[in-house]
Amino acid sequence: MPSLTRAEARTRAALLTVDALAVDLDLDRDDRTFGSHTTLRFTCHEPGASTFADLRPETLHRATLNGRALDPASLADGRLPLPDLAAENVLEVEATMAYGHDGQGLHRATDPADDEDYVYGHLFLDAAPRVFACIDQPDLKAPYTVTVRAPRHWSVVGNGAARQVEPGRWQLATTQPLATYFVTVCAGPWVSVTGEHDGIPLGLHARASLAGPLREQADHMLATTRACLDHYHRLFGIRYPFGEYHQVFVPEFNAGAMENPGCVTFRDTYVFRGAATPDQVLERDNTIAHEMAHMWFGDLVTMRWWDDLWLNESFAEYMAYRTSAEALGAPETWVEFGIVRKLWGYAAERSPSTHPVAGSPAPDALSALQNFDGISYAKGAAVLRQLIAHIGDEAFVAGVTEYLRSHVFGNGELSEFLDAMGAAAGRSLEGWADAWLRTAGADRLALGRDGTLTRTAPDGVTDRPHTLDVAAFEGEREVLRVGVVLTEPRAAVDGVAAVGEGVVLVPNAGDLTWGEVVLDDTTLALLPRRLAEVPDPLARTVVWTSLVGGMHRAEVDPRLLLDVVERAWPLEDDASLLSRVGLVVTGSVVPVFLPPQERPAALARVAAAADVLAERAAGIPGAAGDAVAVLAARIWARSGSDLDRLRAWVSGDGLPAVLAGDDDFRWLVLRRLAALGALTDAELAAAEEADRSLAGRLAAMGVRASRPTAEAKAWAWERLRDDAELSNYGALELARGFWVGAGPEVLRPWVSEVGDLLAHLGERMGEDALARVAAALHPRGVVEEASLEASTALLARDDLSPGVHRALLDEDHVLREALGSRRRFG
């Protein structure tokens, strides 16, 4: 099916103005299909011309253009021809549509806890035609009036304020102009918590089986929502423009959240069923702030085409972290940014798929999906911090505000943004944009003991100015902190040469710029015994990020990283560092970068470090101690091999009190037992019976796939291949568990089969969901030269979509990095 090209979008945008859409959805039919009736009003600037509308129905019953019947057989490849247009046009379409099970279109999911169904619309990136007839491109925005018929015990939430006009019949208020991919309807027997702030009605909604956790956590989420609204109102002087503000926690959601105006959708794992650590709460707060920032960046002003995606995501990313620090009183959010988001972004920069922050080619809509990555998010946000260092915060805010005001309810692009920022700054920003926005790759920053700070740029990259600081730490004392504006390949930093040999040197210690840090050999040698003493959590973040990046570049032995984890990690205070470093070492360092024969001993060392952390937790009073105990238990459950302890934890014995009754933690322990080949059928059946929730059903799939037997792998593979009703989340759980547990001798037969399976899945799964499954299914789980040969053949196939190919290319790069590390360090 062809994807809309940029050239086609420009032609339609020059030809048409979309004036309004009325969409009527009938969700009270069966669990497979729904009815869709669309009335689309639009103006044609060249009467007599022809174009097409976008539509992907199961059955097209009727289509009329200006009262003239259109031949249903003319619909081909999702395009309905619209010939001989008048100046003012009305297109009416009546169709039967199919519910999605891949998280796209109108997704329908059943909660096994009570057998209730839930429906939500996720029309990103090009899924709107699976729900209603439209002109599907971001620069043809229009107001929507939506009506919905639903089962009588359901409630409906959408972009416009919803009211029930008769039993089972809902009317949503006409919206402000929206891009098609922002339209949503969420319907089901939701449990809801409502509120109001500054004249704005607020709502939180989740599945009925999550009623208890939602109500317990609602006060915190509503307080976060109110604080973010106030902050954005103060910052931009532009009020929230979309009426009511609802946040719906929906099942089987592909991303973290989606910024639908007035009705933001979140993955429902953000409603925590069990213990929630500070980093998890911080992540949820940040996601709330991120999606709200989109109400201005992306929703009020939308990029004209997908190559300016950064105008949406980079700004929302930066604004969310800034807001978390300033409005939510959480400066530790920048630690999370460094150890989670920047790690993601630096990995994307190392990959062959790297691209510029702005203006990355998006010749068609589907190719744009490849750029929703750590560059558009994390690097873009870091670049905005550098822009503020370059022009000052006052000019930055003034420029942003002018850009928003001058494009309200419209579309913008890079050149217009730069004009607004340049006017506010009183100078041209074209050179800055060339260096930071239009060229790919990360500079590498190194600080020598002689005080020389060097910047090594990727080949062909224009020199970038860096505003940063360097610091030196002797034990718990910060003995040096120097600010630097680096405009040349090298600069002398005063005071560094005078520090002693026992001092840890950290370039970019405040994590202010975007650049991969290379630590000097003396500092590397000091880290196992000195990193925990460094008093600045941002400096520790930079060090951890440098170690992980150095391992991927085959410059740091993964065994050194393991040494630092063993000695420094259990003494760490920041929850984000504890959580993310633990996940990296158990999910990447040990299973990918260490050879198989070293893994059991390495995991034993990690488990011992988790025990040290647990001992620390016992001495920390209150909620802070509980949080550390949870983090320690989670990492032990990923690395420990004491079967008696694992089985006791499954039964609830010997657990930290805060984890009592925590179903998600029990599944984590069961997954470890399964990977160790120690989980019986009876134990798994008992766990499934004890947790009949949607999360439990999905977790059980991953646990079954994690068993280290040929039979378990065959079961998982066949379920992926043959189960046409398998949801996006079910497929992802099976894929994530597939390469776990078993040795190479069990997994090798499947390495060369991945491509055929992905091509088969592509017949029933959308690009967004399948790209995630493809990343998990890539055979980097077997780190051998034969896997690289299979990966090379996989990338050469011509029957995989661009998004899937991009996901596989990134995983292929990680496999090459692991093999490179093995060749260097043995």
Task: Indicate which residues carry an active-site annotation.
Answer: 291
Identity of the amino acid at 138: P
CA pair distance 95, 132, nearest whole angstrom: 8
Amino acid at 302: T
Burial group, residue 577, by CB count within 10 angstroms (0-12, 13-18, 19+): buried
**Cα-flanking dihedrals φ and ψ of residue 110, to 5°?**
-105, 130
- Secondary structure element (H or E) that encloses residue 162, with its range: strand 162-166
Four-residue CA torsion sign, 173, 178, 180, 182: negative
CA 796 – CA 791 distance, rounded (Å):
9
Q: Which residue has the tokens 């102009």?
A: 177
The overall longest dimension of the chain from CA atoms, in Å, is 85
**Range 787-791, long-range pairs (CB < 8 A, 24+ positions):** 787/751, 787/815, 788/812, 788/815, 788/816, 788/819, 790/751, 790/752, 790/754, 791/815
Q: Which residues contact 563 (CB under 8 A, 6 or more apart)?
A: 528
Q: How far apart are CA 693 and CA 113, in angstroms?
A: 4
Residue 358 contacts residue 310 (beta carbons within 8 Å): yes
- Rounded Cα distance between 98 and 145, Å, is 21
Comparing CA positions, the residue from 472, 469, 471, 477 lying closest to residue 535 is 477
Q: Is 410 helix (H, G, I), strand (E, B) or coil?
A: coil
Residues in the chain: 826
Query: Which of 44, 38, 39, 40 has the alpha carbon at shortest distance from 17?
Result: 44
Among candidates 240, 264, 237, which has minimal Cα distance to 403?
237
Q: Provide the pairing of β-strand 477-486 with 466-474.
A: antiparallel
CA separation for the pair 70, 91 (Å, rounded): 10
Residue 677 and residue 706 in contact, taking contact as beta carbons nearer than 8 Å: no
Distance of alpha carbon 284 from the chain centroid: 12
Using CA atoms, how far apart are residues 38 and 541, in angstroms rounded to an integer?
Answer: 52
Give the pair of three-digit tokens for residue 416.
């217009």
Give the sign of the dihedral formed by CA 300, CA 302, CA 308, CA 310: positive
> Considering only CA atoms, which of 528, 515, 635 is closest in space to residue 571?
528
Token representation of residue 329:
């009183």
Cα radius of gyration (the chain): 27
- Residue where the block lists tokens 């860096």: 466
Classify strands 411-412 and 302-303 as parallel, antiparallel or unpaired. parallel
- Tokens representing residue 701 in the block: 């799939």
Which two tokens mark 571? 């003494």
**Residue 488 CA to its chain's centroid (Å):** 35
Q: Return d(Cα 261, Cα 141) in angstroms, integer.
A: 13
The three-state DSSP-derived secondary structure of 421-473 is HHHHHCCCCHHHHHHHCCCCCCCEEEECCCCEEEEECCCCCCCCCEEEEEEEE
